[in-house]
Amino acid sequence: MIKSGKDIIFASKLIRDGKLVAFPTETVYGLGANGLDAKAVARIFEAKKRPSFDPLILHISSIDDLETVFKKPISPLIFQLAEKYWPGPLTIVAPKTTKVPDIVSAGLSTVAVRMPSHKVAQKLIKQAGVPIAAPSANLFGRLSPTQAQHVKEQLTTIDYLLDGGTTNIGLESTIIAVSGNTIEILRPGAITPDRLQADFPKVKIVASSTEKHIQAPGQLKSHYSPRKPLYLYDEMPEVLPAYAGLLLFEPAPIPEGAQSKIKLLSATGDLLEAASNMFNALHDFEADRSIEQIYAVKIKEEGIGLAIMDRINKAAYRFTHFVDENGISEGEG
């Protein structure tokens, strides 16, 4: 579905007026507001019921916009990363300028920035003429939206929704923090650690340390949950009851007499395809009244499998552990 230029111009005016516009990106739908307007950004937190300790991502449409959001001197590595992966699913965290309101970064001295490749997102940001602050367009802790319909179901108080069909990647961007010659992966995504290392052999790539204070809900143990119990299996379960829905990332032998509904996310075992279908399938199971429980069979945590397992582990966590409404388990936070 292609949006006409008229809709995007209308939406960009709303952004400049401090209103909320949900829009498609190549990863998931975002809920956008003028990223330089603290009051507009406050409305995002309200609409999502998002805790204020959770900072947002600023979306830009040109490398020149970096100087508005990142404090000088901007590290040459940041420009190299931007050249290589933007527009695309990589978010870079670095020290912010004073132009970026504290509410965007939840009081942190750093800000997260990315340049989306989706044409509707690019046009919207360009027309608005300001960086657009946008978290995923879901209620806090719920499944991420990969279709306009998912946004409609969860967010009823927004001003406008640009429908761009189903998102292509279907998983939120990779988030990295850059300091000196080190890249820390704060949230895995389509840009994998292997790919970063291959493209930047001299840079040290480290996984986010879990001992540190949690900076991103992407780092919480519980997040992205369906409203039905989700249980993970190391291997195909021996019994599949009729009330269960089974999520399979790659082809596997189905037990004899299995009665459950099965969603194979990629018939050829292509994990990129499986990643792009994951949230869609979870939304479908969530809406299907004949299903009471969702099962998923784990895959190896390598390549894009790292991002897939990150999301599915967090989606399943609350069904086997105690967590409060902010997704924080005992001893965490």
91, 147, 154, 225: which one binds ligand TXA (CB under 6 A) = 91
Does 147 contact ligand TXA by CB under 6 A? Answer: no
With CB under 5 to 8 Å by kind, the binding choice for 280 among Mg ion, ligand TXA, none is: none
Q: How far is the CB of 204 from ligand TXA (least distance, A)?
A: 18
Q: Could you give the angle at the alpha carbon of 115 between the alpha carbons of 172 and 302, nearest 5°?
A: 35
Instruction: Please state whether beta strands 293-297 and 230-233 pair in parallel, antiparallel, or not at all (unpaired).
Output: parallel
Does 136 contact Mg ion by CB under 5 A? Answer: yes
Q: DSSP letters of 24-51?
A: --SSS-EEEEETT-HHHHHHHHHHHT--
Q: Rounded to the nearest 5°, which phi and psi values hold at 32?
A: -100, 150
The number of C-alpha atoms within 13 Å of 236 and in the hemisphere containing its C-beta is 15
Q: How far is the CB of 59 from ligand TXA (least distance, A)?
A: 6
The interface region with ligand TXA, picked from 67-75, 107-115, 191-199, 318-326 by CB under 6 A, is: 107-115
Token code pair at residue 46: 């309200």
Does 146 contact ligand TXA by CB under 6 A? Answer: no
Q: How far is the CB of 119 from Mg ion (least distance, A)?
A: 22
Does 170 contact ligand TXA by CB under 6 A? Answer: no
Does 262 contact ligand TXA by CB under 6 A? Answer: no
**266 three-class SS:** coil
Does 148 contact ligand TXA by CB under 6 A? Answer: no
Q: Scanning residues 26 to 45, which ones bind ligand TXA (CB under 6 A)?
A: 27-28, 30
CB 307 within 8 A of CB 188: yes
The CA distance from 24 to 22, in Å, is 7
Known binding residues for L-threonine are 27, 114, 134, 173
